[in-house]
Each structure stands twice: as C-alpha cells, then as structure tokens.
Structure 1
C-alpha cells in the first residue's frame, strides 16, 4: 500500500511539472551577509559549501550593492525597495502607503500572482505591508531581528568574558521558541515545496532568513569549526573609526554597541568567529532546501536567486554594523541559478541587489511597470558585451548622515554634518584603506564625482542639499 501511495504521489508530481507553463522562482534572502562572508567570493576562512555550489552552478554578479537606508535598520529600506521596485527615497514614501493597505497590487508578490504564480513567504518580515495581504501563503513571520538580551552587547571584554555563548539557549535570540530560527524557516520551505510539487501552478517563494544577523547564535559544533587562531584580523582593523560620530555610526548606534570601544583584536576575532559559524549553519539550511528541490524533480524548472539585504563590517574600519558606505557593508553576494543560466559565470557590472525583483518579473513574462525603477539582470547574463545599466552606484544613510557615489573605479563618500569628503581608488585600494581626496592631483576627480553625486540625488528624489559643501570644497 505504501509503495502505491508513493507511486501515485510521484505521478502527480511528474504530471504537475509537465503542465507548468512558467518556471518556478525561489528567492533566498539573508540578513547582514557581506560579499566577504562567502568562501567562493574570496574569503578562505568561512565555510560555505552550498553557497559555493550555487556560485559554481549559476551566474554571480560580483559587484551588487544596496543603496543604503533612511535609519539604522538598513534592512527596512532594502526590503522595501525589493518588494516595491522603487529606489530608496521613493520606497520610503510607498512604505507609508503600505501601512495604510494602499498600493499593495504593485508589490512584487502581487505582480507574480497576476502572472499566474502561487506565492509563498516565510521568515523575516521588515516591510510595512502585512505579508498575508500580498502573498497567497505565509509560513512563520519573524521579526526584524531575533529577541536579544543585554548580555550579548559590549563583549567580549577579555578572554575571561565567557558568559554569553552562541549555543546557550537561555539567552533567547535565535533559540527563542525552541528551534533555531534558520531551521524553522528551512522547515517551512521544505513543507511548501512538497505541497507545490504536485500542483500545476508555478510558484514564487520568498524565503527570508534572519541569519547571519546578530545575535550570532548557532549550535556549538559550528563555532568549533572556527578555532580563534584560524581567524585573521581584517587588514582594515582600527580601534575606532575617526568619523564614527559625525557619520551617524557612533557609540549610541545599536550595532556598534555589540563590541567594546575601543575595538580590540580579540573582540573582533570572537565576533567574526560567531559570524562565520552562523553563516555555516545557514549554509546547511540552504543545502536541505536545494536537496528537496532536486528530490522533488523541480530543479530543472526552477530559478534560485540568492542575495542579502546588505553587508556588515564585523570589525573592519573600526566598525561593527552596516550603517556605512564601505564595500563590506553595501556590497553583497548575488547569484542566479536556473534554466539557461550559464554555470560558473561572473559578471562584473555594478548592479543593485533589488534588480532581482525586475529579473523575476522578466522571467515571469510580465511587462515591467513604469514605476519599477530597477532593471532585469537577464540581458547581462546572456550578453557579455552588453553595457551595464548604471553608470554609477548611489549610496545614502539617513537624511543627512552619509552620501556616496561609486563610479569608474573610484568611490566618493561625503559626511555632510562635518563636511568630510573621502575618496578611494577601488582598483589600487580595494580595501578602502587610503583616503586620497586631499591629494592635489585628485581635485578635478573629486569635483566631477561630487557633481555626479548631486545629479544622482535629483534622480533619487534625495532632498539633501550638498551643493554648499561642494562650493566650499572647490574654494579651498
């Protein structure tokens, strides 16, 4: 009898696959995962075999960026941009409409539903719209970050500071509720794939993990995979970032309170150890989802998108959080796997991670609405000679704390409150260690990039007036 039930289920699954007219799309969305938190993208310390396999199986955009955010919770802006298709300041405005149950038909899942997709969401939700108002099916809805405790901050003070440990469940966080939140989201995803595999409708899954966001908790065996003597101190390590207060990432910012001031090599190594451990635990959840996709016979008809809402410093430049314009915090992994996607390909064009929303509706054969401001990545996957969509990448933090432009291999960062201007040559100095803004030979470049930044502000509906700072700079 059992074998007959399995055979019947298998036949239903095969028939459903045959009758599906469009490919499935699975979106794996992580939180706080820098492009530096992936072995296949150059970090030999972190262990990420499944993410590495996705890179090998698909096409990776090696320069994918988040625009920033309007407050310390950068994920709020990033996810609002992803769901709405709007750039950062326009996404802030549309979020206000979402909170009033307006404009929901223009969201990513609603567009997929109109295209004939069954939509599903599980995991972290940090968007003003209620998930059950825009998705057909919803699993566990998790808060912006796991519930933490005071013991998780300002640590470790020294080698004897061992009260808080990633595997201790009494401190809540990812352990609140009994099962680690990454495993909870994974279980939800496996259950939906099982049910969707016997239906003839294509599906869109939004699988949002909180990891590797703090509190960086994981079972002890994952922490043990990273002996402290194997963790290197970042080359950009600083005890304190000189502009931390003026750029809005000082001692009162929650993320920055995680480690003691001034930073110590030991505290940075512990934080990076825990960051890597929760990432490897997350990688194992990815593996189980991908294995289920293969076992269900769905892999050949499914696209997998993998990215994160932004990166994280974890000790680089004397910073712990993501509220800055350095690549470790604004640059993320972005991988696409699926039918007709070249394997092992790297695309170096500068893109925004929210381009994945436009890519999904392109795959779903939906004509892109005029209000979507991001662009499909498919043309760059198939055409090596196609010029990138964006001449420059724009970045911001808060209304008046930071602005950035990345263009032609250089990055200009402005701290408006103190009128500080930083310039980095990203080809010669990819770690952004040496500010060359005040070198006489860079005067024209600073002026041109600053003017380009002001132009981008106008395109982005950014109301901050930087012109007085430029005028003052050019007169010095």
Structure 2
C-alpha cells in the first residue's frame, strides 16, 4: 500500500487535490508521508461543523477471507463526455491511472430509463421504464426486488446506494431491497440547496454534492471496517439544472460556494461545434424538439454553470480516492466514473437529452482498479447496460435476471474480445391517455441502432426516420434516411432495429455483418 499512499500524497501536495491534508514536507523524500486521519476530508467542503454520515447499521460483518474486489460507481447527471476535460482531479486520479472508454453511450439517454438500466442491466422493453414519468415511466415501474443490489447482497457483498434515485422516489417511498446502506435523496432530487435523504433527514441552505460525498466517504470507512467486499453507488446531481420549489422552476446548476468565483476563459465547446445552431439538412423526426432561436450568451452561461457545478464532484472523486487509500482498500477496488446520459447544448438546434445524437448519447466512462491498464483508452462501443454485466463479472456475482448487456471485463483488464457490431438505442415519450391510447407503441418515441459508422432511428408510431453517416458526416448534419443512394443502408439498419427492439438477454448482442454502404 505504501506506493499508493505516496502517489495520492504527491497529488495532494502538488495542488491537484484541494489542500487540507498535510504531510507534504516529506513527499519527495521516500519516507512514509503523514496522512489524513480516518474520515478527514481530502477536500475542503462547504458548510460548518455538521457532517452528513451514512446509516451503516445494517452492514454485515465478515472475517476478511473473501478477497473479491470492491466496486464503486460514481455517477453524474446529464454530463457530456467532453465535460470530463473540466475535471482535473478526476483526470489525474482516473484517466491517467485507468482505462478511458472513448465511445461509451447511454443507449436510452434520459434520467429514469438510464438509471433503471443501471439497476437491472436491461433495456426498457424488458425492465419496463421507458420515460421519466406517466404510466410507462418513473420509479414505480422498477422491479426493485431484483436488481444489482439484491444480486450482490445475496452473494456475499455489502451494498450501498447514495444520492439521486429514479424519478418519482418520494419521501414516503419504501426502502429498496438488497441495499445495506440506503441513502437516496427523496422527493425533488435537484434543488441542490434544500434536499432530503431517506428517513426524512432534511438539509436546508446547504449543498447537495458535498453531503453526497460525505455520506459516500462515511460508507467507505464502515464498509472497509466490516471486512467484507462491497458494492457502492454514489449518485451525484451535477451538472443537472436546478429544479426549485415555487415559481422559479428550472435554473442553471449552482456551484458550491468555494467555486462560485471560478473564472472560465474558455469558449464552450458546443459553440465551437460545426453543428452549432445549424438545422439538419433533411430534417429531424417531428417529435424532436428543435429550437428556432438560440442565444449564444445563454449557452455560454449555461455551460459555465455546468462546469462550476462539476468542480464539487471533482472534489468528491478526489476525496473518495483518499478515503479508499486511508482505509487500505485502494489496491482492491474498482472505481468507475460515468453519467446517466449526455446533453445537447445547441448542436443541430437541440437542447437537453432524450434524443439520439452524439452529444446526448455519449457519456464519460473511466475505470481504475486491479490490473486495469493505466493511461490507456479503448474505443469499444460499450453502454450503461454493458456496465452492469461487467460489474457483476468483476465481482464474481451471477445476475438473477437475463441481462441484456455484455461484460467487457476482458477489454477492461487489457485484453481483447469479440463484440457486437450493432447497439440498440431508443427514447421514450410521456404517455398521455387521451392523446396516446390508440398508439401501437405506447410510451415509445424513437427506436434505432448505432454501428461503427451509422446512427439510425425510426419513430415507431409515425414512421419518421433519421440516418446519419458518421464516416462522411461526423457532425451529423445530414439526415440521409430518404436519400436514394442510402436506400439499402437504411433498409438494413431498419431490419436490425426490428430485431433488437424486441431483444432480450444474449440476443441483444448479435453480430449482423457488414452494413451495405451508399451506392
């Protein structure tokens, strides 16, 4: 463990982590440096002496004989893949020391469906969650008795869930089975300053990211002391917009006080994109919410707010690694950092998510841990659904459901493996009984596939289609679904869509062969 401690302390002392740890005088001497005491934050958090702690009373004690690895997932909300560039501590602790999956996607890029995928390892046609709300969406659709939490708990792990849960998880909602540490936010999860954790632990005039971090660190200490392998989900809110009580509605993501004055002299990447404020030639499916007017100053302001809000998550990642090191668990823990979905900020005149373009589909995904190659990248097209299969594989845990994803453990540990050539992607629609009761595909909107070269989708209810040839059109500016020379291409991708939108288990990971190119 000594070399891990030295590495973390060197980062602390060179300012990559926020100060407050001490012991820097001997950091270059080769002597064992002084370390933070257990529970000491590696990052200065906002607030006074009150600290959020996790309820760890249900943890099961072990005897230390189970040597399986710990697994920690750090999840952000609505984070674009390119926003990882604005998190220097996470880059130093994870990207430089782990494997970065550069083509990771959220195959159903909306909060609740994505979170249901992360709990079940299944697509929405199998787990039942197609949207954030209504008859076909929300927390009530999740079968909580059979999730990754119950699998790991039943097979010898301590488990923990902290932070944002599925949409519709209320103050009086029941405790989900399988989780020894259960600390989700209830009610409105995106106020940032006024929030509740399960059990009606209410915080006002505070900052949610720091409290999630403190509960995460508290859980790590207790889980490490229990001498049993653990699975821990740490679910952050940033950089999601703030949903306030009252008439204010949605506003920009607020920063922690210590980051409010952060100066940003960079032009937002979306503004520099070739697709920014440009309409797609050939149009987009009718249900796609295209903006007619976009004010660049507002986009810049929104992006800067997102970056500032992510700085506290960056602090939290640094604090997590320091806690794992201090607990003696750093060398036996896999940490994965990812987001529930991406976010459009004006490209193709689109905003937000729940659309099947690169900015909404792509998410950051980095792994560190035992035997994970350091400072490497992989372009394997993995998804959040695959992440569940991989986490189970790393822990030696057998899912109690037919998961739709495939484990990429071999790639994660530096090897190679066969992989599917086509991935299912889809979006849902809020079900309105009076308006939608006669629809064939209730609760669905676009369903399609993504390959190495193409992105294809069809509105299953009105037939609108979208096809981007990313080899010739990397900015996805031309919808060629109706172009005569792409007729064979579109037909084959539509055939694959029909197969995969009904898939379950291994059938979701098929190899179809070469897609006919344009004539």
**Superposition TM-score, scaled by structure 2 size:** 0.70
> What does residue 276 of structure 2 align with?
237
> What does residue 308 of structure 2 align with?
277
Range moving further from structure 2, 316-325 or 400-409: 400-409
Are 2:121 and 1:85 aligned? yes
> What does residue 189 of structure 1 align with?
216
Range moving further from structure 2, 392-401 or 119-128: 392-401
Change (3 A) 1:208 1:143: farther
C-alpha distance in 1 between matches for 2:162 and 2:236 = 8
Are 2:93 and 1:57 aligned? no
> What does residue 76 of structure 1 align with?
112
* Match 1:207 to one of 226, 230, 234: 234
* Match 2:391 to one of 360, 364, 385: 360
8 A contact 1:306–1:334 mirrored in 2 = yes
Note the C-alpha offset of 1:98: 11
Are 2:303 and 1:264 aligned? no
C-alpha distance in 2 between matches for 1:246 and 1:228 = 37
**Secondary structure in structure 1 of the residue aligned to 2:297:** helix
Range moving further from structure 2, 219-228 or 93-102: 93-102
Note the C-alpha offset of 1:139: 2.7
C-alpha distance in 1 between matches for 2:175 and 2:381 = 30
Range moving further from structure 2, 268-277 or 404-413: 404-413
C-alpha distance in 1 between matches for 2:395 and 2:91 = 25
Q: Which structure shows the higher helix fraction?
A: 1
* Match 1:441 to one of 485, 489, 513: 485
* Match 1:33 to one of 79, 85, 88: 79
Range moving further from structure 2, 242-251 or 408-417: 242-251
> What does residue 69 of structure 2 align with?
23
Pairing 1:124-203 to 2, within 5 Å after superposition: 124-126=164-166, 130-143=174-187, 145-147=189-191, 177-203=204-230
Note the C-alpha offset of 1:25: 1.1
> What does residue 427 of structure 1 align with?
471
**Secondary structure in structure 2 of the residue aligned to 1:57:** coil
C-alpha distance in 1 between matches for 2:103 and 2:272 = 20
8 A contact 1:126–1:143 mirrored in 2 = no
Note the C-alpha offset of 1:416: 5.0
**Secondary structure in structure 2 of the residue aligned to 1:204:** strand
| Residues paired across the two proteins, number | 410
8 A contact 2:150–2:177 mirrored in 1 = no
8 A contact 1:84–1:372 mirrored in 2 = yes
C-alpha distance in 1 between matches for 2:342 and 2:398 = 31
> What does residue 455 of structure 2 align with?
411
**Superposition TM-score, scaled by structure 1 size:** 0.76
8 A contact 2:188–2:195 mirrored in 1 = no
> What does residue 110 of structure 1 align with?
150
* Match 1:374 to one of 405, 411, 427: 405
C-alpha distance in 2 between matches for 1:115 and 1:173 = 33
**Secondary structure in structure 2 of the residue aligned to 1:360:** helix
Note the C-alpha offset of 1:147: 3.2
C-alpha distance in 1 between matches for 2:96 and 2:379 = 16
Pairing 1:285-296 to 2, within 5 Å after superposition: 285-296=316-327
Question: After superposition, what is the alpha-carbon deviation per residue over 1:371-416, rounded to whole angstroms, capped at 9, x for unaligned?
Answer: 2222222022246442214533332333343223112411113345
Change (3 A) 1:382 1:196: closer
> What does residue 357 of structure 2 align with?
326
Structure 2's unaligned 5+ residue stretches are 1-34, 40-60, 197-201, 243-252, 430-442, 506-519
8 A contact 1:51–1:286 mirrored in 2 = no
Note the C-alpha offset of 1:268: 0.9
